A and B are shown apart, each in its own frame.
Chain A
Amino acid sequence: MLWNIAFRTLLADRGKLIAGLIGVIFSVVLVNIQGGLFLGLIGKASLLVDRSGADIWVGHRGMHNVDFPHAIPEQWMYRIRSIPGVKEVQPLRIYFSEMSLPGGDFEGVMVVGVSEGTRLGRAYEVVEGSPDALSCVDGVIVDQCDDDKLSFPAVGETREIGGKRVRVSAKCYGVLSFLVTPYVFTSYNRAVALADQDASMASYFLVSVDNGVSSEAVCQEIRRRLGEVTAVPASQYAAASVHFWMTRTGIGLSFGAATFLGLLVGLVMVAQTLYAMVLDRISEFATLKAIGSSEREIILLLVAQSSLVAGVGIGIGIVSTVVIRELFSSPRAAIQIPIGLYLASAALVFTICLAASALPYLRVRRVDPHSVLQG
């Protein structure tokens, strides 16, 4: 019956019900979209690592961010290859440079040189142009999402990187840097040539291990043999890259604060709505007390109402979030919402709604059932 009373009294006051629902929906959408945008943005910090296909990343000692490598001797690669359990090792070269634009301007780019004939380090999928683009003469691959930054280079168009000619041989989609600098993929050897740097140095070694071999054990062996390097499983380096931006920029705090404020607004809306509903029906609560409702039943009634508002609001909020994500998520502003975030936001908002019911309860608790006889 409590559910019946809770449900029907809520429905009887649709205006306030809608206001309460808007509060909950707002909170759910805000938490998920803010969280999804955060995850989408911070995910770019480790995109090269996540999509590298490597089990282990090896770089200079103290490496902390995939975009800021320090050069290591390429010949160390052979010492890694000799470690039991290592299936494949490939060098990777990453550095900042400039690409010429048709109007004579330049745009900063991050050149990523990957070995040909392997999947290791290929964080991209070609969506336009030749799938074998790296083998084209002077071939480079740019991302469609960076078209505006690079003045819309067409496939086949020639540009210059570091004063040397390159040809856009293909385009990929959605491989964006956490920095504003576009990635330009090319072959390892071409990257070395374009850089005009010491050809004997690499940025990283990407390692894949045999099935059943522990990446951690191989990392230990690499560190033992090459004292000057850091060797970590890919997932660990991805986390380190994310952590770098989180701590250096305070982005987590900014998003967290915005999300907290959104939650607070939602909480206030729900609490205020429930409180207003209770104030409107204070004589009904007095009547319920007079005819024998216990304090516990009154609390359950309020909790039931909060739960109903929360449950319906969370449901609508999650559906709205999915729609918003489908409509507005793009590689540039990716909204990545894992199922865990949906569940966590639902649990959080539900808990907050229950807490919000404490405010009207404080008012109802003071209602004297005797008041129904006092007009």
Chain B
Amino acid sequence: MAVETSLGMPSKSTFVVVNPETPIRSAGMALVAKQIRKSYVIGGERRNVLDGVDFFAASQECVFLSGPSGSGKSTLLSIMGCLLECDSGEVVIAGVRVDQLTVSERTRVRRDQIGFVFQRYQLIRGLSAEDNVAVPLTLQGVSLAEARERAGTLLKRVGLGLHRKQLPTAMSPGQCQRVALARAVITSPPLLLADEPTAALDGRSGAEVMELLKELSSSTRSATVVVTHDPRITKYADRVCEIENGSFK
């Protein structure tokens, strides 16, 4: 397990590998994952993708997960995001153990506790920016009118007040990712999970998106876990955890 000793230090050189037996206290943590194991059968051979990984993220903390392709970082993100089940281990989000929940219960956790930012934005093409941002609220039962109003306010805040009625196809990649950020935080979830959020953006747009991600997660007091390969944005991390061959370095 890689746990950084001094929160807020942006350099990879600051993390410390602690003893795997060290218990992680979940109190005050937005996310705690303990002894996560996951394996796949590939070509008839079972391969361990995650090998007893421990991880945590505190509220308002921004943790980067980095590592080479196939190292298991996206699998870990999926397990922490209740998108994938682990073979063994525990995942606790906002004080609730989620690894043993049913499919529909995990769906509810994703709806209420987690905001997702995807590499390719994953906006719904037929919906305006405002309606895209409003989707998570309406899934929680908020009326469309109120959801739109709140989405419009948030879009103004991310600098897209004039683009609220535009379709994603009429927006730049940077603007689309800002819409995706707004969609992720509109419900003020305790946990934000971002998968390569700057991979499809140029340097300037990537920096803007990360600035915004930090600002929004700070205002919603969310913990943020970012999977990234992008060295340009390392400075935005409170902690960087490097994963390789299914375990932290």
Contact = CB atoms under 8 A, between A and B. Distances in A.
B122 A10 contact: no
B125 A284 contact: yes
Contacts of A5: 124, 126-127, 131, 135
Contacts of B118: 287, 290, 372-373
B55 interface: no
A373 B78 contact: yes
A9 B139 contact: no
A10 B127 CA distance: 10
Interface in B149-192: 167, 183
Contacts of B233: none
B124 to A, nearest CB: 5
A13 B122 contact: no
Interface residues of A, number: 30
Interface string A1-26: 10011001111110000000000000
A293 B140 CA distance: 9
B236 interface: no
Contacts of B84: 370
B122 A283 contact: yes
A193 to B, nearest CB: 78
Contacts of B110: 290-292, 369
Contacts of A12: 125-126, 167
B104 interface: yes
Secondary structure of the B side of the interface?
helix
Contacts of A104: none
Interface of A: 1, 4-5, 8-13, 281, 283-284, 286-295, 297, 368-370, 372-375
24 contacts: A4-B127, A8-B127, A11-B126, A12-B167, A13-B126, A281-B124, A281-B125, A283-B122, A287-B118, A288-B135, A290-B81, A290-B110, A292-B112, A292-B136, A293-B139, A294-B107, A294-B108, A295-B107, A370-B78, A372-B118, A373-B74, A373-B83, A374-B74, A375-B119
Interface string B54-67: 00000000000000
B147 interface: yes
B134 A1 contact: yes
B229 interface: no
Which 8 residue pairs across A and B have the least CB separation, nearest first? Answer: A292-B111, A12-B126, A1-B138, A9-B126, A287-B122, A370-B83, A8-B126, A292-B110
Interface of B: 74, 77-78, 81, 83-84, 104, 107-108, 110-112, 116, 118-120, 122, 124-128, 131, 134-136, 138-139, 144, 147, 167, 183, 195
A1 B104 contact: no
A286 B119 CA distance: 14
A8 B81 CA distance: 28
Contact of B107 (A10, A289, A374): A289
A292 to B, nearest CB: 3
A297 B126 contact: no
B104 A291 contact: no
Given A8-B128, A287-B122, A370-B78, 20 more contacts: A4-B127, A4-B131, A4-B144, A5-B124, A8-B131, A12-B125, A12-B167, A13-B126, A284-B122, A284-B124, A286-B122, A290-B81, A290-B116, A291-B111, A292-B107, A292-B139, A368-B83, A372-B116, A373-B81, A373-B195
A287 B116 CA distance: 9
B94 to A, nearest CB: 15
A291 B139 contact: yes
A5 B136 CA distance: 12
A291 B109 CA distance: 9
Contacts of B134: 1
Contact of A292 (B108, B120, B122, B195): B108
